[in-house]
Amino acid sequence: MKTLLIEIGTEEIPARFVKKGMDILKDEFSKSLTDSVIEYDGIQGYATPRRLALIIEKVAEKQKDRIVESIGPPKKIAYDDSGKPTKAATGFARSLHIDVADLKISRTERGEYLSATVEEKGRSTVEVLSESLPRLITSLQLPKSMRWGNGALRFFRPIHWIVALYGERIIPFELDGIKSGNFTYGHRFLSPAAIPLKRPEDYVPALFSSHVIADMDVRKKTIADQLSLIESENGCHVSKDEELLNIVTNLVEYPAAVVGSFEDTYLALPKELPITVMRTHQKYFSTHNRKGDLLPHFVVISNTRPENNETVRKGAEKVLRARLEDARFYFSEDLAKPFETYVDDLKSVTFQEKLGSLLDKTERIVALSAFLTDRLSIGQKEHILRAARLAKADLVTGIVSEFPELQGYMGMIYAARSGEHEDVASAIFEHYRPRFSGDDLPTGEIGTIISLADKIDNVASFFHLGLIPTGSEDPFALRRQAVGVINILHERGYLISIDTLIDTALKSIDDSPDTRQESRNHAVQFFSQRLEFILSARGFRHDLIKAVLSSNELEIKSIWSRIDVLAALKQDAAFPGLLTAAKRVYSILSKTTDLNLAETVLTESAERELLDMANDVDKRITGTAYSALYELEAPISAFFDKVFVMDKDPAVRNNRLALLQRVRALFDSLCDFSRILDE
């Protein structure tokens, strides 16, 4: 067994794709080795902006021998009418290097087919990989792949070299004119010469000697350690930004943290503005004092030797100064007129071709906010409607046009500067929450209402247009917004159903009840799927989730409360008996339409006892207390034991079924018991 090295050298890969590319290569190569029956021990991935690499330990020198059963052509075309083999049969035998007489007939789901069992001797690993590696590289499903020159190969970026080394032996193949070999390359500027590799074990140390840290985790820790050293030496706090740390890790091969500074005057800008300029546009880390105040210093991660730090610092400061000056200019220009005047400018910006302008969108948010305020009996209606009208106004300001990441935040700043109430201003920022998975929910009631209105309008509108998320595609982030709505309704405990919210939103964009109903059904089902996922992630059993979601409207507070109650009831030793009784009721009513109950027709004592208990239980169950359902078990069992439900007299039969419908309604108030699995 020997170590195997595969490296694909490229032009700079975008930082966000470096790890993803390594993971894809690792998964696909591991699968390829398994499919080829080549044993190996472990596989380690390495990646920088200029390379994706794998080192595979203890790779067998040949495939394992195996018995393979191959299916050939159908029997009806493999033999002629006289039973002699046709060209299809002889060709199949030839492809397997066996005699046609060794073929057999096998029965499959599709009918009778020729087959053969062949012992396949394992080939050498080098031979197998020489054939499979070109196919594997060209078949990788990479994001943002590109084709260059006249070649047909698609990859992240143009490939410049390929290393394929098994022990001390090169695995020979050619890909789009590039021959595999044992030469890698170091840092583009610091060590650009070719580096010969005698064996895979030399790879990581050889690159390190040539100013390349191949291991992403090591590069990341190197940067983190440098940031910590800067904190201790300068008495400051460098922003703890895991996402930015991951980005800069995959922007460089040889990281060096450099401290730069900018003029104090830029600290007069709203805090998040210079931070965004540094983080988003320049990939710099901001610094803060112990109170959290922004300091006029930053950290840039360079891709060169520490002795070049002064040059890097001066260049970074020059670029940042220009960006901050742009930000100050736009900020000053935006403040030149009252914030509310930007609302009228929204009519010149299209929200979506069939949904009108951003002003149309704003008016829908205002209408939904008004509906929610009235329906939920919330005060501050004047402030809610004011915030709803101003919520999108900052989208047409200079700052947000240049720095879209600051939408909402700049609206809050401009609203406050224009004299709006502080709750109105903060709601403009908060209505975008939650912006991503794990983000905070809106804390203020005004921002909460507008957040619900905005997100519900988005889901309803795009579903109405048929722009529904499919698979991994969700260009309008509707899944995230649906989850946000669910979490807000749960956290706030608002008593309003998703059905009502969607229906109300759709009325603003469609006058046809028929088409609204179809869109409503699809959207509500979408929310139901998101809620099912959330509840499952919180540990609730799948059958209990289905049972609760099957009854009543999609009212989040009620559903959450009922599944908590059901999960607790399920732990009771008496629950199996109750479940059996409930399922007897559901089973006999499976095909029954709604019937009217006539109490005077109930003549059997078991009928009367069941009705009396149902009426008593109905008075005692609430949204959080359903233990009274247990008292239905005995009268249900007695009813089925003593009463023949399907009486030949239609009036008697239908009345008994109506009684059972009355009982089932009590179970349905908690969930659909027929969906709960028996233990």
Delimit the domains of the chain by residue range.
Answer: 2-63+124-209, 69-120, 219-334, 341-539, 568-675
pLDDT band at 167 (very low <50, low <70, confident <90, very high): very high
- Let me know: does 302 contact 255? Beta carbons within 8 Å: yes
**HEC readout, 408-477:** CHHHHHHHHHCCCCHHHHHHHHHCCCCCCCCCCCCCCHHHHHHHHHHHHHHHHHHHHCCCCCECCECCCC
pLDDT at residue 149 in the model:
67
pLDDT at residue 77 in the model:
86
Mean pLDDT of the chain: 93
Q: For the residues 23-49, what does the mean pLDDT come to?
A: 93
**Predicted TM-score (pTM) of this structure:** 0.81
pLDDT at residue 97 in the model:
80
pLDDT at residue 83 in the model:
82
Annotate 477-492 with DSSP letters as a single string: -HHHHHHHHHHHHHHH
Annotate 178-206 with DSSP letters as a single string: EEEESEEE--TTTS-SEEE-SSGGGHHHH
**In this structure, what are the phi and psi dihedrals at residue 594, rounded to the nearest 5 degrees?**
-65, 135
**Residue among 441, 408, 442 nearest 425 (CA):** 408
pLDDT tens per residue, range 412-449: 999 999 999 999 999 999 999 999 888 999 999 999 99
- What residues are paired with 175 via a beta bridge? 178
Measured CA distances, 174 to 12, 36, 84, 129, 181 (Å): 22, 20, 44, 12, 10
Residue bearing the bigger pLDDT, 172 or 156: 172
Rounded Cα distance, 677 and 672, in Å: 11
- At the top level of CATH, the class of 341-539 is mainly alpha
Answer CATH for 568-675 from 1.10.730.10, 1.20.140.10, 1.10.10.10, 3.40.228.10: 1.10.730.10
pLDDT tens per residue, range 194-214: 999 999 999 999 999 999 999
Sign of the torsion formed by the C-alpha atoms of 271, 277, 280 and 284: negative
Residue 86, amino acid: T
With a CB cutoff of 8 Å and minimum separation 6, the contacts of 4 are: 40, 54, 55, 56, 59, 125, 129, 165, 166, 200
Rounded Cα distance, 629 and 613, in Å: 10
261-286 b/e (C-beta count within 10 Å ≥ 16 → b) = ebeeebeebbebbbbbbbbebbebbb
Q: For the residues 375-384, what does the mean pLDDT come to?
A: 95
pLDDT at residue 250 in the model:
96
Cβ of 66: how many Cβ atoms within 10 Å? 11
**In this structure, what are the phi and psi dihedrals at residue 244, rounded to the nearest 5 degrees?**
-65, -40
- Let me know: does 254 contact 304? Beta carbons within 8 Å: yes
